[in-house]
Amino acid sequence: MATRISIGLTDHITIEDVLVAIRDLSFKGGHGRTGDAFAFLADATIHAGMWREDAAKVVILITDGKSLDSADGPAGALRDQGVTVFAVGVRNADRSQLGRIASDPAEEHVLDAEDFHLLGSLSAKLSRRLCFTASEPPRPAKQTASAEKIIGPRDLTISEQSHSSVRLSWTPATGKVTSYNLLVGSLSATGQVTADQRQVVLDGTKSTALVTDLKPDTEYSFTVSALYADLLGERMTIKGRTTPIPPVTNFRVIEEGLYSLKVGWTPPLGKLEGYKIYIPRSNRPGMTPEMILGREASSYVVENLQEDRDYTVSLYAVYPEGPSQPVSITGRTCRT
Helix, coil or strand: residue 3: strand
Q: What is the pLDDT of residue 146?
A: 44
Strands (DSSP E) contained in 37-153 are 57-63, 83-90, 110-113
3-state DSSP assignment of residue 305:
coil
Of 261, 257, 259, which Cα lies nearest the Cα of 315? 261
Opening angle at CA 267, ends 262 and 272, nearest 5 = 120
Strands 57-63 and 83-90, by their bridges, are parallel
User: 15 by DSSP, 3-state: which?
Assistant: helix
- The whole-number mean pLDDT for each consecutive block of 10 residues of the chain, a chain of 336 residues, reads 70 85 77 79 66 80 83 84 89 87 90 87 88 81 58 90 93 89 88 80 91 92 86 85 92 94 90 88 64 92 90 92 91 90
Q: What is the pLDDT of residue 26?
A: 78
Give one DSSP letter per residue of 265-299, joined into a string. Answer: EEPPSS---EEEEE---TTSTT---EEEE-TT--E
* DSSP tag of 249: E
CA–CA gap between residue 79 and residue 83 (Å, rounded)? 5
pLDDT at residue 253 in the model = 95
Closest Cα to residue 153, out of 39, 235, 36, 47? 235
What residues are paired with 169 via a beta bridge?
157, 208
- The per-residue pLDDT for 34 is 85
In the prediction, which pLDDT does 299 show? 94
Distance CA 39, CA 232 (A): 8
DSSP state of 193: B
pLDDT for the residue 297: 93
C-alpha to C-alpha distance for 288 and 281, rounded to whole angstroms: 7
Beta-strand runs (E) in the chain = 3-4, 57-63, 83-90, 110-113, 154-161, 166-171, 179-186, 198-203, 208-211, 219-227, 232-241, 249-256, 261-266, 274-278, 290-293, 299-302, 310-319, 322-323, 327-332
- Left, alpha or beta for 292 (phi > 0: left; psi -120 to 50: alpha)? beta
The confidence score (pLDDT) of residue 144 equals: 53
pLDDT of residue 334: 93
CB 62 within 8 A of CB 90: yes
Cβ-based neighbours of 12, under 8 Å, separated by 6 or more? 18, 21
